[in-house]
Amino acid sequence: MVRVIAHGELRQYVPGKIVEVHGEGRTIGEIVAALGVPAEAMAAYILNGEQSEAATKVKDGDTVEVLPAISGGAGGALEGIRVVDLTRALAGPYCTLMLADHGADVVKVELPGTGDETRDWAPPHINGVSAYYLMINRNKRSITVDLKHPEGKRVLERLIEGCDVVVENFSPGTLERLGFPPERIRAIQPRAILCRISGFGQDGPGRAWPAYDLIVQGMGGIMSLTGQPGGVPTMVGVPEADMIAGMFGAFAVAAALHARERTGLGQVIDATMIGGQVALLSRQAARFFADGTVPSPEGNVHASIVPYQTFRAADGYVNVCCGNNALFERMCRALDLEDLLDDPRTLDNAKRIASRDHVVSRVEKRVGGMTKAEVVRRLREANVPVGPISDLGEVFADPVVRHLGLVAETDHPTAGRVRSPGIPVRMDGTPPSVRRHAPVLGEHTDAVLGEIGYSAQEIAGLRRAGAV
């Protein structure tokens, strides 16, 4: 017998989350199809913990997990919204990725011949296509337009006439030099929302400064708080300054679309990387404003809670968080540290903070003699917040990640089957979806130009002129 586990929305097709079927000699695809699961509803197959293909044959005793696709759908919350995407690199494309995942028709305008610079950011690549580009440009359509060419400017004007949103992350002043300042965009389409993403704003003392993620992480305070006490300032391991700017930009676009329902008019959004970093300072900023303390790196500990930190197990690391006395008591019982419950130094959190070294050393010694899995199992059974520190191989094998469909797959004409992080939210009324692969440069030029009124002869003329 073969054990089949259906995750997430796929449970509607399977009688129970787990079923056992006769599968010796059959392929994964054949088994799942026999259960009535549509092919378009599936994102990936996991055979005995490893990513596998539908054509893989199974044998008795195997376990097959089927992950739901967040794909092929329609009716997202932003369906019917057209976005003219004048972005490149990361902050802007991440903003438009979020809009596209929720159903917007994102038309990515790129320079003929080269396109978005991330197309060349490789290795790594997948069959010659930049993996970086593939990760952040799904669900978009690509057209090539030379915005310095007079006829290219006319193409952009006609795109704006029929759009709801324009997103750009040029250096401040570039859009104006191209002949499309905000007032002209408003004149072309009063309902259009213009979202401008930059490092330090469209005006003010930082408008001319170049911005990369590392620079802004440093200037925004995040790096001063990250790392081990006494160590060098450390950047976050993902380009979060870019991504957070894109997230806030997308949120502002959604808010502006809602406001437009009342006013009938669009507006200009000034989203900045530095603004996103300052917004993330949260409790550390509260501490600074409360008493003037300038926080420094704390490593993986919490200044106000003990224990709330990383511990080294025999085969890796785990995080344990005991935010109140009840959790501390349950942790002690789960880890066979009951003697700490009678210790006057651990009676409440304030006393545990004063005796941090004593408490932490006891937990360290106990956890150090156990595997990650054993620590996690014991504490989860006791309902104590705990989790392993996972590398990416472990992340994408995690049953929670699988269940939530947090791996998206698309078929790219050059790269083949492409996996990327899925959509992090689910909505039962207007679900987000992965509908398109990251586009080939200019893949949709003719189609989009036709939609805005150009004839085939006119499109040919634009190509001859070098405008597209």
Which residue numbers are catalytic? 242
Closest residue by Cα to residue 356 from 317, 309, 415? 309
R_g of the chain, CA atoms, integer Å:
26
Closest residue by Cα to residue 60 from 24, 26, 87? 24
> Rounded to whole angstroms, how far apart are CA atoms 237 and 224?
14
CA geometry: angle 88, 449, 194, nearest 5 deg? 45
- Which regions of 184-292 does DSSP assign to beta strands (E)? 193-198, 268-272
**Dihedral angle at the C-alpha atoms of 163, 165, 168, 172, nearest 10 degrees?**
110
**Dihedral angle at the C-alpha atoms of 20, 22, 25, 29, nearest 10 degrees?**
-60
Assess contact for 121 and 454: CB atoms under 8 A. Answer: no
- Neighbour-count burial of 317, counting CB atoms closer than 10 A to its CB (0-12 exposed, 13-18 middle, 19+ buried): middle
Residue with tokens 């055979």: 47
Name the maximum alpha-carbon separation found in the chain: 87
- Neighbour-count burial of 448, counting CB atoms closer than 10 A to its CB (0-12 exposed, 13-18 middle, 19+ buried): buried
Strands 140-144 and 129-130: unpaired
- Which regions of 336-377 does DSSP assign to beta strands (E)? none
16: left (phi over 0), alpha (psi -120 to 50) or beta: left
Residue 373, helix vs strand vs coil: helix
Helices (H), 149-231: 150-161, 174-177, 182-188, 213-219, 222-225
Assess contact for 40 and 27: CB atoms under 8 A. Answer: no
Residue 405, helix vs strand vs coil: coil
> Rounded to whole angstroms, how far apart are CA atoms 412 and 116?
17
Assess contact for 236 and 226: CB atoms under 8 A. Answer: yes
Residue with tokens 């990640």: 401
